[in-house]
Amino acid sequence: MRVIVTGTDTGVGKTIFCAGLARSLGAAYWKPIQSGLLEETDTEVVQRLAELPAAKLIAEAYRLRTPASPHWAAEIENVLVEPDVLSSLPPEECLVIEGAGGALVPVTRHMLYADMFARWSIPAIVCARTSLGTINHTLMTLEALRIRRVPVLGVAFIGDEHLENARIIEALGNVPNLGRLPWLSPLTPDSLQSAFGRSFSVSSIRQHYDALTR
């Protein structure tokens, strides 16, 4: 299975979720565009937390130093991001792909991540906070994906339990609630693996995936 992991915002916990998901699925991980190289990159975080073999870490198509929206980081660094380069997915059959920030972040001045997702035509998981503000952000993200015909596999919540926020998003968003990853302290490969296993059912993720791709 090849799945996109997007989110309602930057910093919601997509990379941590991707690490748990890639490890649980035995999948490879790909961050097509990394902007910001001074701190640990997302691929390095996944390597550290998912303990994936090197062969399962796909090199980024673009690595930009500036910690900014990819379209802007690329312009500052005089890099031309070519949608056609991004369009061809790595050949790995089991692959977790992480966007940057939220679904409507620009890849270039003419293309948003959500437009790229639509080109790929593979299912997307939306990572969302559990806390105040998440209903609006998550429902808007779902609309933005669906209007572009991106198949939505489900929402993965991250943070402290908030039953009503999860319930209303599931109902009004007409979307599967895949589970909730709590905020972990310490955040280690072991704590992530066991929390991920308690929080999400890989077989139900596979079932939702199959339903969308049949």
Q: Which residues form the catalytic set? A: 31
When CB distances are held under 5 to 8 angstroms depending on the partner's kind, the choice from Mg ion, ligand ATP, none that residue 184 binds is ligand ATP
4, β-bridge pairs? 97, 124
- In this chain, which of 3, 4, 6, 13 binds ligand ATP, going by CB under 6 A? 13
What number of other Cβ atoms are within 10 A of residue 202's Cβ?
13
Residue 21 interacts with ligand ATP (CB under 6 A): yes or no: no
26 is written with which tokens?
């035995």
The three-state secondary structure class of 187 is: coil
CA distance linking residue 118 with residue 209, whole number of Å: 16
Segment lying near ligand ATP (by CB under 6 A), choices 10-18, 83-91, 171-179, 199-207: 10-18
The three-state secondary structure class of 167 is: helix
What DSSP element (H or E) covers 129? strand 124-129
Q: How many residues bind ligand ATP (CB under 6 A)?
A: 16
Residue 15 interacts with Mg ion (CB under 5 A): yes or no: yes
Residue 104 interacts with ligand ATP (CB under 6 A): yes or no: no
State in angstroms the smallest separation of the CB of 191 from ligand ATP: 8
Residue 158 interacts with ligand ATP (CB under 6 A): yes or no: yes
Task: For residue 89, give the nearest of 66, 112, 119, 57 by alpha carbon.
Answer: 119
The three-state secondary structure class of 97 is: strand
Residue 101 interacts with ligand ATP (CB under 6 A): yes or no: yes
State in angstroms the smallest separation of the CB of 4 from ligand ATP: 13
Judged by CB, which is closer to ligand ATP: 65, or 213?
65
16: Cβ–Cβ under 8 A, 6 or more apart, which residues?
45, 49, 158, 181, 184, 187, 192
Site string for Mg ion, 25-64 (x = CB under 5 A): -----------------x----------------------
Residues within the interface to Mg ion (CB under 5 A): 14-15, 42
